[in-house]
Amino acid sequence: MEKVRRMERVVALTKLLVDNPCHLFSLTQFSDMFGTAKSTLSEDMVTIRDGLGRCGFGTLETVAGAAGGVRFLPYRSGDGTNRLLTELATKLATPDRMIPGGFLYMLDILFTSSLMVQVGEIFMTKFHRKSPDYIMTVETKGIPLAFMTARAFNLPLVMVRRDAKVTEGSTVSINYVTGSSKRIQTMSLPKRAIRPGSKVLIIDDFMKAGGTARGMIDLAGEVGADVVGTGVLVATAEPQKKLVEDYLALLILHDMEEHTKTIDIRPAFTD
Amino acid sequence: MEKVRRMERVVALTKLLVDNPCHLFSLTQFSDMFGTAKSTLSEDMVTIRDGLGRCGFGTLETVAGAAGGVRFLPYRSGDGTNRLLTELATKLATPDRMIPGGFLYMLDILFTSSLMVQVGEIFMTKFHRKSPDYIMTVETKGIPLAFMTARAFNLPLVMVRRDAKVTEGSTVSINYVTGSSKRIQTMSLPKRAIRPGSKVLIIDDFMKAGGTARGMIDLAGEVGADVVGTGVLVATAEPQKKLVEDYLALLILHDMEEHTKTIDIRPAFTD
């Protein structure tokens, strides 16, 4: 009977931990919840860590001290990452995704939660050491991807608007020049969205010349925040020189040939 | 040793199941993955179901037959739901959320993943019987909430635009009259986003007169889809008569008093 009860507790603890990535739980909290001694819970944590680790499902981190506890880090690397990037590249290379004007239809992929959960966890793994305080993106298509990254980090998402909304209170705006079409655009951010002095990670779905990312970096600077990294799902191979120097792309769009209907898109790296 | 191995397997299975709500896994798949007999896996499923059930973390559903298997349903009800709705109402009632013009600042709540995961699961619980094929929302603020609902259902999200984008191919558009300000607006949907004959669940963050929801219902009709339900996080008490007859609100905004800076917002029901 005790064996069964322990199993059920481990199931419940696993659910709590993996449902709240990067959230620090104290063993006291678990002890109150399940009426179990902390020493027993420590054993449970070892079991959970080993169970997750054996399948490459991330890891548990123990934080020592009075304010300590345990948290789930949804690290993804190696084979799992490579498989996902290859799957995404294959899905995005089907000819019917080509839209007149040289655009690539990605909405269905960007709006599939099972894929975006995994992409968010890859970005979390890659940028974890930068310790951002916020995930920033620009409306609209990239929101689910950025939100899943925010979830993997247990951080708030901040959304930059192409225009200011009256429903969001006072805003900070900048003008910026789009990298590819050289038009002047505005982007804005509610003033209360970011604490000055914060570290920001930019996540977006697509980068061509990098003008939008450049604009977000400038806008973050306006509110006294510092951009510690930029991650995009797809970057184009051309122009090779982007307006941001340092970014991580997961996939590279090498070529799109409208006549022959061929799309050449490949993982940007092997993990 | 076997005991430990079984525990670790149960941990990994729990993670797989809860990470993919409503996704049907076959026991054969698990059997190949862990090299374990299906009879043993069936016992594991009972343990996982009981472990989740005891904490109100949802349930496992077994689907019989050749195409059968097991899936995790993230049902939320009772105390957990009531606690969440009360927590949200309390957070939204702080005076500094009042924005000149009678608007309520909700962005930070809407962009907090740990809250939106739960709200998405509540909508899933409430609308599960309607068996929708898509979750539909309108850009922009409601996207994370709708996306988490789509995740809980394991369904694709479809986003309605306030204008048509060249990067999304051919679109269907309608004009509609906003319920509160009586302005004529346009909304559009990429043609390829929804299969004709599908069932659609509308999810949005806020409803005042219901003009936007009405527009989405009409737009769904244009592409041959049928709206089977409408869920919003917050609805205003006034106007009592909305442009949609049948909707589920989780919170009701009864009153906002700019002079005294008081916001009266409460859960719409007790679960």
Per-residue pLDDT band for B223 (boundaries 50, 70, 90) equals very high
Question: Exposed, middle or buried: residue B192 (CB in 10 Å: 0-12, 13-18, 19+)?
Answer: middle
Size of interface A-B (CB pairs under 8 A): 179
The residues, any chain, with a CB within 8 Å of residue A125's CB and separated by 6 or more, are A74, A75, A76, A77, A81
* Closest residue on chain B to A51 (Cα): B8
Per-residue pLDDT band for A4 (boundaries 50, 70, 90) equals low
Q: What does the pLDDT read at residue A11?
A: 97
**3-state secondary structure (DSSP) of residue B264:** strand
Per-residue pLDDT band for B200 (boundaries 50, 70, 90) equals very high
> Per-residue pLDDT for B1 more than 60?
no
User: Where is pLDDT greater, at A101 or B72?
Assistant: B72
- Average predicted confidence (pLDDT) for chain B: 93
Q: Which among A264, A267, A268, A245 has a CA at the least distance from the CA of A255?
A: A264
CB–CB contact B11 A52 (8 Å): yes
Class in CATH terms, A79-267 = alpha beta
Contact indicator for A232, A205 with CB cutoff of 8 Å: yes
C-alpha distances (whole Å) from B238 to each of B58, B94, B211, B256, B257 are: 35, 20, 14, 11, 14
Which of B111, B147, B166 comes nearest A103 by C-beta? B166
Q: What are the sequence ranges of the domains in chain A? A: 2-73, 79-267
Q: What does the pLDDT read at residue A3?
A: 54
Chain B hits for A50, CB-CB cut-off 8 Å, are: 4, 8, 11
- Distance separating alpha carbons of residues A92 and A98, to the nearest angstrom: 9
> Per-residue pLDDT for B221 more than 80?
yes
The tokens describing A59, both together, are 């890891």
CB–CB contact B47 A18 (8 Å): no
* Closest residue on chain B to A155 (Cα): B112
CB–CB contact A52 B15 (8 Å): yes
In which element (H, E) is residue B8 found? helix B2-19
**Terminal CA-to-CA distance of chain B, rounded, Å?**
44
Q: What does the pLDDT read at residue A204?
A: 98
Q: What does the pLDDT read at residue A221?
A: 95
* Closest residue on chain A to B150 (Cα): A113
C-alpha distances (whole Å) from B35 to each of A47, B9, B11, B65 are: 19, 10, 15, 22
Contact indicator for B166, A101 with CB cutoff of 8 Å: yes
* Closest residue on chain B to A105 (Cα): B168
CA atoms within 13 A on the CB side of B181: 5
For residue A268, give how far its alpha carbon lies from the nearest alpha carbon of chain B (Å): 23
Q: Return the top range by mean pLDDT from A41-50, A61-70, A163-172.
A: A41-50
Q: What is the dihedral of CA A90, A94, A97, A101, to 10 degrees?
A: 100
Which of A6, A103, A108 comes nearest B156 by C-beta? A108
Per-residue pLDDT band for B4 (boundaries 50, 70, 90) equals low
For residue B10, give how far its alpha carbon lies from the nearest alpha carbon of chain A (Å): 7
pLDDT digits (tens, 9 = 90+) for B250-264: 999 999 998 888 999
> Per-residue pLDDT for B133 more than 80?
yes
Out of A163-167, B161-165, B266-270, pick the least confident: A163-167
Which of B57, B117, B150 comes nearest A12 by C-beta? B57
Other C-beta atoms within 10 Å of B95: how many? 11
**3-state secondary structure (DSSP) of residue A261:** coil
CB–CB contact A105 B192 (8 Å): yes
Other C-beta atoms within 10 Å of B36: how many? 18
Contact indicator for B110, B137 with CB cutoff of 8 Å: no
Which of A6, A113, A193 comes nearest B147 by C-beta? A113
C-alpha distances (whole Å) from A236 to each of A44, A209, B139 are: 46, 8, 26
Topology annotation, domain B2-73: Arc Repressor Mutant, subunit A (1.10.10)
Mutate to test the interface with B, among A107, A162, A198, A208 (most CBs of B within 10 A): A107
Rg of chain B (C-alpha set): 21
* Closest residue on chain A to B157 (Cα): A111
> Beta strand B226-236 with B199-207: parallel, antiparallel or unpaired?
parallel
pLDDT digits (tens, 9 = 90+) for B29-49: 999 999 999 999 999 999 999
> Beta strand A157-160 with A134-138: parallel, antiparallel or unpaired?
parallel
- Percent of all residues in chain B with a pLDDT value above 70, rounded to a whole number: 99
For residue A151, give how far its alpha carbon lies from the nearest alpha carbon of chain B (Å): 5
CB–CB contact B144 A144 (8 Å): yes
Helix and strand element counts for chain A (H, E): 8, 12
For residue B270, give how far its alpha carbon lies from the nearest alpha carbon of chain A (Å): 24
> Per-residue pLDDT for A1 more than 50?
no
CB–CB contact B105 A192 (8 Å): yes
pLDDT digits (tens, 9 = 90+) for A217-244: 999 999 999 999 999 999 999 999 999 9
Mutate to test the interface with A, among B113, B192, B203, B212 (most CBs of A within 10 A): B113
- Distance separating alpha carbons of residues B127 and B124, to the nearest angstrom: 5
CB–CB contact A9 B139 (8 Å): no
> Per-residue pLDDT for B214 more than 90?
yes
